[in-house]
Structure 1
Amino acid sequence: MTDTAAYFPRLAGRRVAVLANQTSVADMPGAPGADASGRVHLVDLLHARGFDVTGIFSPEHGFRGTADAGEHVGSTVDARTGIPIRSLYDGGSGRPSDEAMRSFDVLLIDLQDVGLRFYTYYITMLRLTDACADAGREVIVLDRPNPNGDKVEGPLLDMKYRSGVGQLPIPVLHGMTLGEIARMAIGEGWAHPCRLDVVPCRNYTHATEYLLPVAPSPNLPTQRSVYLYAALCPFEGTVVSLGRGTDRPFACYGHPGLKGRNYTFTPRPTAGAKHPPLEGEVCRGVDLSSLPLDEARATGFTLRYVIDAYRDLEALGDAFFTPMFEKLVGAGWVRGMIRAGATDAEIRARWQEDVARFRPLRAKYLLYEE
């Protein structure tokens, strides 16, 4: 976003639409539209520089990042600039209307992703790039670092489990930026071919530690939760709470039936979790909110927390899981291994072949060194 020389000339005299949210900001002291601290939102920057921004699209959680996961976000107007915020769904088939697509010449994408297959911002991006391909519109991705970009872990998505939380045959942690994912999806024919350009990050490698300046969504409020997301999100496919409706989402887990646990929490309605799982029930479990940040970063995709809870609640049997579990982990064999008593290491060993097959494919589309 800060490399304005790379994309401002491409916008001059053209109608611009933006796919953005609360993360589409940068520290640019003195830039038009910047606040007193020097931070500026992409939309405010473009508007202040006089570009013809005809519409804003926003992903899950909305333009200001306050909607619940999966909540339908309709059309409205940005109060600060008066620019229409257009629905992604008003054209049916999960895409914008023809009228919305006719309202711009180039789509500018700037979102902070966290690098997981079930984090849905890349799905929104690809839905819009498909619409742009069909309408003959150009797409420019303003790339951002992947805070989990040093990891490629987990099973490849078995496409029979393709869903709103997983669209591509990639691992849980894919180790790619949004720009690289877009290149791969188009290059492999998983998305419609469109005119795509990626403005890359400077001085970034996939090993670079990147601390997010803005929470990417309501239930990932801290850097620790961003790092633990891969390990705790599979609980969304079980009866166990991962802390939605508390001040520690994705930094704890628990259930009323867990035994011998000193930590307790009670999920309540909060911003971004209006009706959290196990709402109002006292859950006993594990608090990870004090885990050292370097340990959280090293955690990656592990099923040891799910296995811990399953063994404690083993009397539930298959009722411990929901159909969402397979959609999240991406494979049908994981549940069976857990129920059979497999360790995290044994499950990890089984998906290593998937990762080995994915890495050379991924390498074709990387923009940054490992």
Structure 2
Amino acid sequence: MRLTFDEPLGQKIFKIQSMAFLNSLKSTFFIWFLLLIACGNQTKAEKTQSKPAVAMNDSVKVKPVVVAANRTEAYLPLLKGKKVGIVGNQTTIIFKDEVKDAPLPYVHLVDSLLAHHVDIKKVFAPEHGFRGRADAGEKVKDGVDNKTGLPLISLYGKNRKPSAEQLEDIDIVLFDIQDVGVRFYTYIATLQLVMEACAEQNVPIIVLDRPNPNGAYIDGPTMKKEHSGFLGMTEIPLVYGMTIGEYARMINEEKWLGSGVKADLTVIPLENWTYDTPYSIPVRPSPNLPNDTAINLYPSLGLFEGTNINAGRGTELQFQCYGASFLDSTQYSFKYTPMPNFGSKSPKENGKTCFGKDLSGFPKMNEVSLQWLIDAYTNTLDKSKFFNTKGFTAHAGTETLQKQIEQGINEEEIKATWQSDIDKFKKIRKKYLMYL
């Protein structure tokens, strides 16, 4: 809520009232007497002028962000009479001001579409599954959704791209997944492969846009083509500052789909959102991103995924702390013990006492920070235990970052080496921005 106040009228009101009153007086004595009083009050008014006098218009209502899924009038006509495939997960929701007899202020998009008699043929599920309960990296099996009875096709199992056979009974695909704006977060890889499959089979695709909680900045090393894979399919920075809808447009128009194909793409945009609009995701986008702090720290602490350091998996501080049993215990006051829990059946350092840092109270950042990666490496007793080179290169998108840390190059110097690639990307990105 933004509060607005009128400027204090103070001295001005007083002078107007005083002049009116003085003009009505005929006695010179009284005139001089009242002027003396005015001078005293004027001094007082000047001393208090910086404080608002009266709050006028207590507040201005800020229009709420409207996600594309809520803009049913924009996409339901495109689904009418069509056999539909949905790419979604637990974040594929429509918000409701009031849901009668329901504990949550939203409903799943699939349930809403079925209520509108949309002919949904199947659901394609990304990493973590349709209901979002699988561990990171855990294979997701095909199956049937218990609630709706719809067939579930895994895009994180035997295949990560819909096959021609899986699309042959589909007239149109609807893609709706909440992203967090980090290159190695695999939902944008799923988007790219789904777009490619749709283009190859001449199936139109609609992307319902959602806010990017890390959309206010661009930072991090840029993916090098020779290291591209499911943790980064295109040459973009680690944090790319675009919504998933904007990114879909970029993929399509920059011809990043295989064999240069182009999808029949429609993006349904957001309403009342800009890159600086604060946005809190109401549902975990994945099991180990439980809150805003974890999502904000994920671009930085996610790089620990390519090391043997635990980044909070197996605790209630997922991506809000880091540590390991092999860090120098004399350098840390914080310690914890990872244990199997929701979203992490076998966390790194399982059952071991880890020494490290608790970042759960760290203020919000708009940058990728290397301070914790460098800190952990510096305080690793046996440096050979730190990096998982293949995994770290896949997450960083380049071999250079590991070498820079091993050589003791400081954060400022490392980040300076990213800038040229970031500037090149910004020029491309600018063409596809929808929320200026």
TM-score (norm 1): 0.94
Residue 350 of structure 1, CA deviation: 1.0
Residue 364 of structure 1, CA deviation: 0.9
RMSD: 1.7
Range with greater deviation from structure 2 (160-169 or 141-150): 160-169
Partner of 2:188: 122
Contact 1:258–1:284 (CA<8 Å) still a contact in 2? Answer: yes
Give CA deviations for 1:243-288 in whole Å, capped at 9, x if unaligned: 1111111000001122221211111111211111111111011001
Contact 2:216–2:366 (CA<8 Å) still a contact in 1? Answer: no
Partner of 1:105: 171
Tell me the SS of whatever aligns to 1:154: strand
Which amino acid in 2 is paired with 1:267?
P
2:103 paired with 1:26: no
Aligned equivalent of 2:307, options 238, 260, 263 = 238
Structure 1, unmatched stretches of 5+, are: none
Aligned equivalent of 1:229, options 283, 291, 298 = 298
Which amino acid in 2 is paired with 1:44?
D
Residue 36 of structure 1, CA deviation: 5.0
Partner of 2:229: 163
Q: Structure 1 105/205 Cα, relative in aligned 2: closer, same or farther at 3 Å?
A: same
2:392 paired with 1:325: yes
CA distance in 1, matches of 2:106, 2:125: 20
Contact 1:54–1:104 (CA<8 Å) still a contact in 2? Answer: yes
Give CA deviations for 1:294-333 in whole Å, capped at 9, x if unaligned: x23x1521111000011111x5335421121111111221
> Rg bigger for which structure?
2
CA distance in 1, matches of 2:368, 2:104: 36
Tell me the SS of whatever aligns to 1:26: strand
Which amino acid in 2 is paired with 1:19?
V
Contact 1:20–1:63 (CA<8 Å) still a contact in 2? Answer: yes
CA distance in 2, matches of 1:39, 1:89: 26
Tell me the SS of whatever aligns to 2:352: coil
Q: Structure 1 63/312 Cα, relative in aligned 2: closer, same or farther at 3 Å?
A: same
Residue 26 of structure 1, CA deviation: 2.5
Partner of 2:276: 207
Give CA deviations for 1:102-160 in whole Å, capped at 9, x if unaligned: 12111001110000000000111111111111111010000000000001001210111
Aligned equivalent of 1:8, options 76, 82, 95 = 76
Give CA deviations for 1:75-127 in whole Å, capped at 9, x if unaligned: 1111221111122367x663234332112111001110000000000111111
CA distance in 1, matches of 2:274, 2:421: 23
Contact 1:29–1:37 (CA<8 Å) still a contact in 2? Answer: no
Contact 2:192–2:248 (CA<8 Å) still a contact in 1? Answer: yes
Which amino acid in 2 is paired with 1:2?
N
Contact 1:34–1:41 (CA<8 Å) still a contact in 2? Answer: no
Contact 1:61–1:71 (CA<8 Å) still a contact in 2? Answer: yes
Residue 37 of structure 1, CA deviation: 4.1
Number of positions where the alignment pairs a residue of Structure 1 with one of Structure 2 = 362
Aligned equivalent of 1:44, options 91, 99, 111 = 111
2:351 paired with 1:283: no
CA distance in 2, matches of 1:365, 1:237: 31
Give CA deviations for 1:9-44 in whole Å, capped at 9, x if unaligned: 00000011111111111322468x993544111000
Contact 1:11–1:51 (CA<8 Å) still a contact in 2? Answer: yes
How do residues 1-370 of structure 1 correspond to structure 2 at under 5 angstroms? Answer: 1-29=69-97, 35-88=102-155, 94-191=160-257, 192-259=261-328, 260=330, 261-291=332-362, 295-296=363-364, 298-313=365-380, 315-322=381-388, 323-369=390-436
Which amino acid in 2 is paired with 1:284?
F
Q: Which consecutive segments of 4 or more residues in structure 1 shift more than 3 A?
A: 33-38
CA distance in 1, matches of 2:228, 2:147: 38
Residue 193 of structure 1, CA deviation: 0.7
Higher relative contact order (CA 8 A, sep 6+): 1
CA distance in 1, matches of 2:123, 2:289: 23
Structure 2, unmatched stretches of 5+, are: 1-68
Residue 335 of structure 1, CA deviation: 1.4
CA distance in 2, matches of 1:63, 1:87: 8
